[in-house]
Chains A and B, each alone.
Chain A
Amino acid sequence: MTQPTPSLDQVLPPILARHGNDPTRLVQILRDAQDQLEYLAPDTVTALARALNIPRTRVESCVEFYAFLHDQPRGRFRILFSDNITDRMLGNQALFEHMLKRFHLAPGQVSEDGLVSVGLTSCTGMCDQGPALLINNMPITRLTPRRVDEICDLVQSGLPLADWPSHYFKVEDNIRRAEVLLGSGFRSGDALRAALARGPEAMLAELKRSNLRGRGGAGFTTGVKWELCRKARADIRYIVCNADEGEPGTFKDRVLLQSFAERVFEGMALAGFTVGARQGLLYLRAEYQYMMPHLLAVLERMRAAGLLGRAILGQVDFDFDIDIHLGAGAYVCGEETALIESLEGKAGRPRIRPPFPVTSGYLGKPTVVNNVETLCKATEIALHGGAWYEAQGTKQSTGTKILSVAGDCERPGLYEFPFGVHVSEVLAECGARNAIAVQVSGASGMCLSPEEFGRRIAFEDVPTAGAFMIFGPGRDMFEMALNFADFFAHESCGFCAPCRIGTGLVQKMMHKIAAGQGTRYEVNEMLRLRELMRTTAHCGLGQTAGNAVFDTLQKFRPAYDRRLQDTDFIPAIDLEAALARARAMAGRDDADAHLGAQA
């Protein structure tokens, strides 16, 4: 049974005090409040707005924006099945249905006793060990029917999650192929020492020499980014590590943070030293909240070792420390300006660029936003120099790249390859036979068919943020496009009209085709919408939202054609169903009370 809810007067003041009554920490405050209150009721919203002296609309806007913030009770056990296409390929839908049946619940519904709710969520970054779910923000992977039954039993027993056997929450690294980053031993502090010995100018020169490019997908030259930030006129600068790894199919940052956190944080300190920043912020996606205790412990350890905090490694003028911000469930926050909005305690809607974060970012100050992997690569350059680094990979894409391999292969997990590796080599290495398609770089990426497996993973050919999802014989590529259409409609932030409405229309049309009610008309409409979004949407989310539909239409057209009706028009509305309400109200069931299919 539900415990008595603690009163707002008891709950909120300590939370607010812990965050210094700072409205820019609103997302963190809301998360903490929700942890204790179970959900954010209108009274809580009003009280927080008053305490923080901000408009109530801003608090409301945040609560409604983030998928993991709730304005309704969600049960003491909140279960969310990861619903990426890789989870679906591993049978998550049957497991989801099974759990709903056991609890007698509809998706998203809370049980009458307030015990449990079961819903779906976007990819949780466990694709190599799916199907996966989150229960009160804790991941459980490798779901089987038996495991689902055990979870149901535990939930029904009411045993607090903290007392559940720990093996349920085990998350594997699955490092399958290691090179310089994943393979070489890293002595904490060495990279920073090397940088300090060089000095910021020389460090920057090495970085530029290395031609390191951002690993988040866009591939901007890191040295240029750091230099722009360093040269921007300002008193304060910030280093932000983008760990909002929301791109479906990507999980490399999870492993880097789980097992290489010192290296990530040292990369941030290195960036701070080079550009002249004293504060670092790690933006951790909500799905990785389970790592918080570990990451905080690592930070403590590094402070104790003199690698963070005041006068780092004895250098009197070098202070740098790191704070961790948790996201709250929004893919768009992977876009750097949306991420900064979220860091400032707002809904994550991307800003107008320019100005770019390097001149005006967090709190309007020059800010470097780098991907987790990029910051790790920076430590390699500090240790070994730009020339050494530049010798790996291709001319335009130097160094190695970590791929998150999932889907139909024998050994899913992390694979570190030098840039320039052929898609076919990756497939061979992970034990993928007769693949019919590879979706590179997630839902926003590129769908490759077998004749393209000779292409290279590199910025100049097939760029990627890391996701590498493999589809074996018999897979239906329409299902992937449908999954991604749902994903984008769910994740569109709503700021710009083409993406907000376009993703919704594409989703409707894809479901119409899935239901066997589609025609070539919808296919042409989706191509038009894709072109519109590609050219007019405000940020990368909208610009790429139609890619999967477009690519699969080009390369896997039969997957669509066999679903299409050979007619020029089928209504999107189900006319027979549209009469149901009136039929019931009038108590009729005669022949005239029905509308058959189109004559």
Chain B
Amino acid sequence: MSEIPNSFTLDGQLVPFEPGQTILQAALAAGHYIPHLCSSPELKPHGSCKLCTVVVNGRHGSACTAHAMPGQDVQSDTPDLNGKRRLQVQMLFVEGNHFCPGCEKSGNCKLQAVAYDLEMLNPHFPHFFPQRPVDASHPDILLDRNRCIMCEQCVEASRDIDGKEVFGLAGRGLASHLVVNSPSGLLGDSALEAGDKAANICPVGAIVHKRVGYAKPIGARDYDTLGIRAQARAAAEGEGP
């Protein structure tokens, strides 16, 4: 057991936690970044992107779903795990159609920011270049499935925060894709509104607001100066005592 009762070690450093917290929540609160994409502090743990996979007492598990326990030995920032994470991000890049130079989310995109953090230099694998439809039927919101990474944050946000269930995940395997709750299947016929959480939570450029475009100039975007890891650290310090 460690000296502080509610604490575990993360890469050798003591991390305190509150009962009920996941390893990821406790780590982030203490300013330790563990790469993740499908998890959001506003949503229930989902555990689909598997980027936050850590080794807990010798066993692999998702930091976003595993509960923190006293005395756990958690390995995260290791060459093996970071190598696997880089591989996973590369897989996400070749699975969809991600053309950063032509995406208005570029610079504010979590997939890109995580890839920067993991020093991904190229997508590595042969691209699938799937055919995926774009839905521009909504007056305010654009749904570009080419950029979707199936994290289901919009699905959960719409269901659990907006109370609307606008989105769902259909199909299976590589044919998985977002579907929209309306008779036509089009976003324009759904109950989605621009102010909904689901319209504002997408970590990538799959759900973006129309008439915004490249609003922030290069240099002033979310991840232009401070990387996602440094921001996580800064956020924890800001909320600290």
- Chain A directly contacts chain B within the complex, with at least one CB pair under 8 Å: yes
Within 8 Å by CB of B168, from A46, A60, A536, lies A60
Whether B150 and A61, one on each chain, are in contact in the complex, defined by CB atoms closer than 8 angstroms, is no
- Most chain A Cβ neighbours within 10 Å, of B62, B149, B173: B173
A58 interface residue (CB < 8 Å to B)? yes
| A462 in contact (CB, < 8 A) | no
Q: How far is the CA of A505 from the CA of B92 in the complex (A)?
A: 12
CB-based contact B95/A501 at 8 Å: yes
Contact call A494/B50, Cβ cutoff below 8 A: no
> Are B170 and A538 in contact, with the CB atoms below 8 A?
no
Q: State A459–B147 Cα separation when bound (angstroms).
A: 44
Measured CB to CB, the closest approach of chain A to B62, in angstroms, equals 8
In the complex, the chain A residue whose C-beta lies closest to that of B167 is A57
Q: A residues within 8 A CB of B91?
A: 497-498, 501-502, 505
Measured between beta carbons, the chain B residues less than 8 angstroms from A61 are: 168-170, 179
Taking residues whose C-beta sits less than 8 angstroms from the other chain, chain A's interface range is: 35 or more
Within the assembled complex, what's the spacing in Å between the Cα atoms of A46 and B182? 8
Contact of B150 among A55, A491, A498, A500 (CB under 8 A): A500
A18-56, CB < 8 A from B: 42, 46, 55-56
Q: State the Cβ distance, A71 to closest chain B Cβ, in Å.
A: 10
Quick one: which of B65, B91, B95 has the most chain A CB within 10 A? B91
**CB-CB < 8 A to A60: which residues of B?**
168, 170, 179, 185
- Interchain CB contact (< 8 A) of A494 among B62, B150, B179: B150
Q: Bound complex: CA of A330 vs CA of B84, how far in Å?
A: 28
Residue among A65, A495, A505 facing the most chain B CB atoms (10 A cut-off): A495
| Cross-chain contact of B170 among A64, A495, A496, A505 (Cβ < 8 A) | A64
Q: Is A489 interfacial (CB 8 A cutoff)?
A: yes
By a CB distance below 8 angstroms, the chain B residues around A500 are 95, 150, 173-174, 176
- Contacting A58 at CB < 8 Å: which of B60, B168, B174? B168
List, in ascending order, chain A residues with CB within 8 A of B12's CB: none
Residues of B within 8 A of A504 (CB): 95, 128, 173-174
CA distance A504 to B84 in the complex (A): 17
- The answer to whether A492 and B173 touch across the interface, beta carbons within 8 angstroms, is yes
A533 CB to closest chain B CB (Å) equals 10
Interface membership of A347, Cβ < 8 A: yes
Complex interface bits, A494-538 against B, C-beta within 8 A gives 1, otherwise 0: 111110111111001000000000000000010011011001111
Q: Which residues on B are within 8 Å of A, measured CB to CB? A: 45-51, 53, 60, 62, 65, 84, 87-88, 91-92, 94-95, 125-126, 128, 149-150, 165-176, 179-183, 185
- Top 5 closest pairs, chain A to chain B, by CB: A57-B168, A494-B176, A55-B165, A501-B91, A64-B170
A-B contact pairs, 9 of them (CB 8 A): A57-B181, A58-B165, A58-B168, A494-B176, A495-B48, A500-B150, A531-B84, A532-B87, A573-B126
